[in-house]
Amino acid sequence: MSTLERKKDPFIRISKRSEGMSAGKAWGIRVIGLILALIVSAIVIFVIVRMNPMDVYASMWKGAFGTTKRSWITVRDTMTLLCIACALAPAFAMRFWNIGAEGQVLVGGIVTAACMIYFPEMPTALLFLVMIVSSLAAGAIWGLIPGFFKAKWGTNETLFTLMMNYIAIQLTAFFVSLWENRPNSRKVGIINQNSKEGWLPNMFSEGYNNDFGWNVLIVLVIATVVFFYLRETKQGYEISVVGDSENTARYAGIRVSRVYVRTMAISGAICGFAGFLAVSGSSHTISTSTSGGQGFTAIIIAWLSRMNTYIMLVFTLLIVFLDKGATQIASEFNLNEYCSEIITGIILFFVLGAEFFVDYRVKFRGSK
Amino acid sequence: MTQLLTLLHSSIVFGTVIMFGALGEIISEKAGNLNLGVPGIMYLGAIAGLCGPYFYELSCAEAGTTPSGAVCILISIVCAFAASALGGLIYSFLTITLRTNQNVTGLTLTIFGGGVANFFGGSLNVFAGGVGQVKATATTAAFTKYSFTLSALGANADGKGIGYLLFQHGFLTYVAVIFAVLIHLFLMKTRTGLNLRAVGENPGTADAAGINVARYKYLATCIGAGISGLGGLYYTMNYIGGTWANDGTIEALGWLAVALVIFATWRSLNALWGAYVFGIFYWMYQYIGVSGRAIELFKMLPYLVTLALLITVSMRRRKEDQPPAHLGLPYFREER
Amino acid sequence: MDNVNAIEMRNITKRFGNVVANNGINMVLRKGEILSLLGENGSGKTTLMNMLAGIYYPDDGQIYVDGNPVSIRSPKDSFLNGIGMIHQHYKLVDVFTAAENIVLGLEEEGKLDRKVIAEKVREIAERYGFDIDPNQKVYDMSVSQKQTVEIVKVLYRGANILILDEPTAVLTPQETDKLFAVMRNMRADGKALIIITHKLHEVLSVSDRVAVLRKGEYIGDVPTAEATQQSLTDMMVGRATTLNINRPDPVNPHPVLEIKNLTCVDKDGVKRLDDVTFTAMGGEVLGIAGVAGSGQRELLETIAGLYPAVSGEVLYRPDESTSISLLGMDPLEIRKNGVAMSFVPEDRLGMGLVGSFGMSANMMLRSWRKGFGPFLNHKDPNELAKSIWENLEVVTPSINYPVRRLSGGNVQKVLVGREIAAKPKLLMTAYAVRGLDINTSYTIYNLLTDQKLKGVAVVYVGEDLDVLLELCDRIVVLCGGQVSGVVDARTTTREEVGLLMTQFRKEEAAV
């Protein structure tokens, strides 16, 4: 009879916030999550290096923004990551789990590198046109394939895009060995080191690698276009209706399969463009780590920003800052740079967890 | 013949790594949790399974005693399992209690686990005096010791007979096989297994039937993560010989384990042979004498085959082959 | 322990946000009786029962089982107290067999021996007269077979108290009779049963006592022997008078929609519509009656281009001379061909509206193609949203507030308002007043009648016979996907329509 004697209310009751929460309050909760994350990270850092976490954060700042050059590199990498996150926004707005950004970036990178290697004689303007168009196309194809199968047979897109990543990685490995600079080096090396053909030039001065103004300009344009594409265009409207309910979409005369395929092509194309940025605009080489997990990080950023490309900018900056900063502490304190991934992980865990308190109300026993 | 045996032998070794990873993930996914943190979890298992015995052996060396093989194995397995299960616990708390998105949380766990493992692994390398200097000799020996002597099995002179193929493996290889069978029996033949599958198929129904959905999800994910972590342990001990390399291989193998789950259509017995098939795919280039860059294309095979299978399964729509119906979705009772 | 009350609920209150679903309810279930829980849609029957099933937890009040106070926090607590609920949406795992579903979650001793379980299932089936194959997979079962699995499942668990939530809504008359026989067998075995329904003739035929809920309040209970359809209706709707829906005569009726020999098959190969023929006239309200699942949804969705037809014709006649065949067109093509059709679907937030959008963005569902070039036009939808907000008195903080958070009535006003604003020649509505309060229901009736007076052909799929009889001009009755009759709503009776709904052309079927 023991079950009959329980008379107490449940200790914790959770209910969905029916009335919603003001945007300001919601972001407040997220910021609290972020602060908690920084505190926990600080504790972790302290345990590892036994140093004042404030000093550690200070040297992280030095690593990311200590010199003009470092600032530019931080900005450059932020832009590449932001570009990928923007690419994912349309897919996620459609509730399509494109976790294949990694692969889509790589195929874009491969074709960009191919153009640089095979057409160094081409007029610069034409070369850039070819590089951009082909990287867009390659990414689009890579994204379109899972979109097509999802539309046609409902094939699970999460698993599909995941597999496409590794096919792309192997493809990259293949081309890397095709183009390797010395036999068996497994490295392409810097492409067109001397001629700098196909390198995205400086914006504010002559030459290369002194500023990355073009990267910033292009990606901010993409972010703006994606922002307005999702909010102000018919296609963006179709995407959000499909994301909410396929039935409603059909009811409204939206051709759901077409939207799936088209949106994934767009998402893939922008990822492919990020591959162009990574090769032509940053590293001037190609390797299996050209995307280096950014495709996955971008997923988390896009999700946390709720598909708002400007909020993505804040998150990407934070992540890249951590990365650069950690590399700095690694060299200063003779650690290795992987502690940035630990801190990134911790911060993302907390920010993810904070979403719960935005969406749900928690009541304890006794409180009304 | 010898070449074929070598191929099959290395396929078994390769397959065992991803088999552990996939078996753990099958348990988790059967409970509806698509844990994309497998690579991170395998990382955690790998580093913890190495650090534990490394420091044990170090303390033995300082004390001037000989480390006992059994203790080494025990420490190693407990560390690997506990660290990975802890990773699973983080994932569970976030996705089950705080209802965060499973994909995003899993990916974060992969970043986090990789970071932790490579950070400590790298530090361990520095501590030990350079890459490849980390050695847990006694532990590695204990893990890689052949479970059966060849002479007892009638091996031929060069030691490359069937006996070599089947029995010259560390004991974890057989543990993986036993796990695959046990997990099958557990899922298909026990009440708890039935309940677990119900949670992944239709948590609302499971809840209404009096099953504690959250508890099942927690346990399945944490235990599953622990098992996946053993794949990382097997990798460090049996695959690369008890050392540490920050080369990202574990992550690649982790994703392959996720692929294997799909390839196996969520059945542990399929994962058993599927893992070896993946191993054959992976090493085939050596057997058929492919060299140079074509190797890279060959390594694509497991993914291509998995993709083909994923498509076929979705086209055939056979109910039994589909992913668990509620895979990847959060469950909240009052939303019904 | 000789308590006569199997269940006693005292002062139970449950709120959802600002909506009070159950308000201070006191109810008793005696041992060995079948109690009908009667009430209109949205009266709080299912919510109340879900608190016994452990799905909701009451905000206030106390539940007693066998005279002991209990706290039912989970379905598990519920069945530990001997309560088993058969939900309207079956809670079964598709890829499991009947037997596997039945033992799911049980903490029985021993391993999972499917033979022993199958034997036990057969025993129960024989005792109460069920027809069940323990090894059949659920995805291979018919609706009634699934229901059987649900009932056997709770009996297997030793439930003494069974709650059935609208069990007959999806059954054929024959299956219903079978179910009632089984229920009587269970009562004879000493079990206490609650059946939720809103079909009066079933209440009278199967139950011992009737309890009535109205708008979340407990109105009272009477022994079935002392009740009549009229007295129960009075309790249910709260007045004995008629509905007094204003029904002007049809204006200049002319055919707008002609359905000829329409047949549809679902993906499992079951006929959903079978040789359906009728005509909807402009200037009149055509009612579609039938028990739930008789093909109403398929009919409207086929006309709207959302459901495939096997054969037949759907003709739209904008005027005397022209006709457009709609079959084979998708909603986009239908609209592009200038067909002035509006459709208020049954699933308001899952088909008619986007829950996360505000009113304004929902207006765009109809007009989003009209913007300049690739861009959306926000201005017109905003204005339309504002006018609906004011004219229909939609309660919402702003036109951009997600409609998911609005109450059911306001959601429906948004949807109907939008569809009417499109100036249709043909307006189809499915369960337009389901779950709405009386005032909102009348608002909707008046809107539909206004449309009729403008010459629109209004198709009204409804479930409340009284409304159908007072609102419509003619009524098409569907039964099992076939048209069992077309009657004049002014001259027909409740009984005639009710009969057509359940007894399809028996004389013909016998031939």
Alpha carbons C273 and C145: distance in angstroms, whole number:
22
- Candidates A10, A20, A245; nearest CB to C73: A10
Contact C68 A4 (CB under 8 A): yes
Given a contact cutoff of 8 angstroms between Cβ atoms, the answer to whether C280 and C426 are in contact is yes
- Interface size A-C, in CB pairs within 8 Å, comes to 95
Distance, in Å, from the CA atom of C474 to the CA atom of C295, rounded to the nearest integer, reads 18
List, as ranges, residues 167-186 from A with C-beta within 8 Å of C: none
Q: Looking at chain C, which residue has its C-alpha nearest residue B185?
A: C112
Which of A11, A22, A245, A256 is the mutation pick for testing C, counting most C CBs within 10 A?
A: A245
**pLDDT greater than 50 at residue A7:** no
Residues C505, C484: contact at Cβ < 8 Å? yes
To the nearest whole Å, the CA of A267 is away from the closest chain B CA by 18
Name the residue in chain A with its Cα closest to that of C71: A7
Residues in C closer than 8 angstroms to B202, CB to CB, are 91-94
Q: How far is B211 from chain A (nearest CA, A)?
A: 16
pLDDT in tens, chain B (336 residues): 677 888 888 899 999 999 999 999 999 999 999 999 999 999 999 999 999 999 898 888 888 888 888 888 999 999 999 999 999 999 999 999 998 999 999 999 999 999 999 988 888 888 887 777 778 888 888 887 776 655 555 555 455 667 777 777 888 999 999 999 999 999 998 999 999 999 999 998 898 888 889 999 999 999 999 999 999 999 998 888 888 887 788 988 998 899 899 889 999 999 999 999 999 988 888 888 777 778 888 888 888 988 998 899 888 878 888 889 898 888 876 543
Please give the model's pTM, rounded to 2 decimal places: 0.86
- Within 10 angstroms of residue C259's Cβ, the number of other Cβ atoms is 21
Q: CB B206 to CB C104 under 8 A?
A: yes
Instruction: Nearest by CB to A233, from C77, C80, C374: name it.
Output: C374
Predicted confidence at residue C30, as pLDDT, reads 92
Taking CB atoms and an 8 Å limit, are C91 and B204 in contact across chains?
A: yes
CATH 1.10.3470-classified regions of chain A: 75-332
Chain B contact for C19 (CB, 8 A cutoff): no
Report CB contact under 8 Å: A160, B310. Answer: yes
Question: What pLDDT score does C241 carry?
Answer: 43
> pLDDT band at residue A106, thresholds of 50, 70 and 90?
very high
Instruction: Select from A167, A178, A299 the Cβ nearest to the Cβ of B300.
Output: A167
Which CATH topology does B2-335 take? Answer: ABC transporter involved in vitamin B12 uptake, BtuC (1.10.3470)
Which chain C residues have a beta carbon less than 8 Å from that of A240? 354, 356-357
Q: pLDDT, tens digit, for every residue of A218-241?
A: 999 999 999 999 999 999 999 999
Q: Which helix (H) or strand (E) holds B311?
A: helix B301-316
Give the per-residue pLDDT at A26.
82
CA atoms in the 13 A half-sphere facing the CB of A111: 29
CATH code of domain A75-332? 1.10.3470
Copy the structure tokens of residue A143: 């994204």
Contact between B171 and B4 under an 8 Å Cβ cutoff? The reply is no
**Interatomic CA distance for residues B95 and B77, integer angstroms:** 27
Q: How far apart are CA A76 and CA A81, in angstroms?
A: 9
CATH number of C5-237: 3.40.50.300
Identity of the residue in B34, B108, B118 whose CB atom sits nearest the CB atom of A158: B34
Cα separation, C47 vs C58, in Å, equals 10
Q: What's the confidence (pLDDT) of residue A275?
A: 95
pLDDT tens-digit profile of C170-223?
777 778 888 999 999 999 988 999 998 767 778 888 999 999 888 788 988 999
Cβ of A8 within 8 Å of Cβ of C71? The answer is: yes
Instruction: Scan for tokens 């170090």, then name that residue.
Output: B58
Which residue positions in chain C have pLDDT lower than 70?
A: 1-3, 17-18, 40-42, 109-110, 198, 237-243, 502-511
Q: Which two tokens stand for residue C221?
A: 């209970």
ipTM attached to this prediction: 0.88
Nearest to B195 among C78, C79, C105 (CB): C105
Residue C232: its pLDDT value, please? 79
In CATH terms, C242-340+427-511 corresponds, of 3.50.50.60, 3.90.1720.10, 3.40.50.261, 3.40.50.300, to 3.40.50.300
Inter-CA distances, A215 with A273, B265, C235, C311, Å: 11, 44, 73, 59
Give A233's contacts in chain C (Cβ within 8 Å): 374-376
Residue A305: Cβ within 10 Å count = 21
DSSP secondary structure of C300-359: HHHHTTSS--SEEEEEE-SSSS--EE-TT--HHHHHHTT--EEEE-S-IIIIIS-TTS-H
Percent of chain A's residues with pLDDT above 70 = 93
pLDDT tens by residue, A61-79:
888 898 988 899 999 999 9
CA nearest C54 in B: which residue? B208
Nearest CA in chain B to A351: B100
Q: Residue A36 in contact with residue A350, Cβ under 8 Å?
A: yes
Q: Which of A364, A306, A353 is nearest to A29 (CA)?
A: A353
pLDDT of res. C395: 83
Identify the CA nearest to B19 among candidates B248, B184, B177.
B177
pLDDT of the residue at A107: 96
Query: Using CA atoms, how far apart are residues C479 and C271, in angstroms rounded to an integer?
Result: 12
Closest CA in chain A for residue C19: A18
Closest CB from C55, C92, C93 relative to B336: C55
Q: Which chains touch A (3 or more CB pairs under 8 A)?
A: B, C
A306 touching chain C per CB within 8 A: no
Amino acid at C116: V
Query: C347 and A6: CB-CB below 8 Å?
Result: no
CB spacing of B194 vs C103 below 8 angstroms: yes
| Interface-testing mutation among C66, C81, C372, C375, with chain A (most A C-beta atoms within 10 A) | C375
CA distance A217 to A88: 19
Say whether C428 sits in a helix, a strand or coil. Answer: strand
